[in-house]
Amino acid sequence: MPEETQVLWLSQKDVIAAGGLDMAATVDDVEEVFRLYSLADYALPRKVSLEWHWADTPEGEQRNHLNLMSGYVGGQLNAAGFKAIASFPRNPFKWNLPRASALIVLHDTEVGLPLAVMDGTLISAMRTGAVSGVGAKYLARPDVTQVGLIGAGVQCRTQLMALQVARPAIRQASVFDIRRDRAERLAAEMSERLGLDIRVADSAEEACRQAEILVTATTNVTSPIVQDGWLMPGTYYAHVSSYECEYDVIRHADKVLVDDWDLVKNRMYSTVALMWRDGEFADDDLYAEFGEVVGGQKPGRENDREVIIFSPIGLALHDVAVANRVFQTAQSKGIGQKVALWDSPLWL
């Protein structure tokens, strides 16, 4: 190995040029990570979350926070790194900035040197959507045509992209957001991008009752949005964010899955975690960690009437896997800027 060490810098434009917007590839990346997870071929410490308790957070919304997430995933991927992601929910409305912004750092798994630093904002959004998409492959009915979305931010865009990859029969979607103008913008943009008939719902209930696949991706934390009785038989519900449904929605589901149960409980963020805290959902009530389904240890959907809820917390393993693919593509195509870490190390 030469003494000079270079690190590849990839801007968001570079990430896109290296396949960052390829949802089909991202879905494949995420599915492979879940397979390796089922084989215990990974290392995944808990997230570190720093919250701005002193910020002027509107009642009912998430606080500003910065998460640090690291992981290693094995197999042919053999990749390690970490993501630093900030979530400031007021950014789009106050500063005309994205809610989330992130950096991902990849490290060599043999000697530990940094390989690349890249924009993680796009990768994080894409991999989160892809998780629900892989979920749809195993947990949704194969003939679904109608999606319901609650929330009209970046996340519901990538959710819809991934669901279309996983279930190509999807033809229609309805979206509800408490800010109707945002729902209208999403409907116009994604209808053109995906060739779907996307309509704006007048209420959360309307979006739910029409949905064969339901996605909730909001910043709500104090009062549930989805009420018991709103889901039709056979619904696959991707519960992406925080306190988004009543406890009875979880109780009355046929199967409840997460990505990593210990991390979900530690983050204490989603409805199922809050239920566990309150003694209303036991460890034995969980049907499976989703990797068990991808790995073949447990079946996914077993009939057309099951209501199945998938409530992932988000794993650094997915960020690392997608970033690794982007990095490999960038290297092969000469994308990005190489920056010297040192010409030769000062001390050994």
Is the Cβ–Cβ distance between 173 and 147 less than 8 Å? Answer: yes
Decide the pairing of beta strands 197-200 and 288-289. unpaired
Burial of 121 (0-12, 13-18, 19+ CB in 10 A): buried
Handedness of CA 234, 238, 244, 250 (dihedral sign): positive
Per-residue tokens: 214: 């339901």
Q: Which amino acid would we find at residue 133?
A: G
What CA–CA distance (Å, rounded) separates 47 from 311? 17
| Catalytic residue list | 83
Q: What is the DSSP string of 11-26?
A: -HHHHHHTTTT-HHHH
CA–CA distances in Å: residue 150 to residues 84, 185, 225, 240, 329 = 26, 14, 9, 10, 34
What CA–CA distance (Å, rounded) separates 180 from 173? 15
> CB count, 10 Å around CB of 340?
9
Q: Which amino acid would we find at residue 149?
A: L
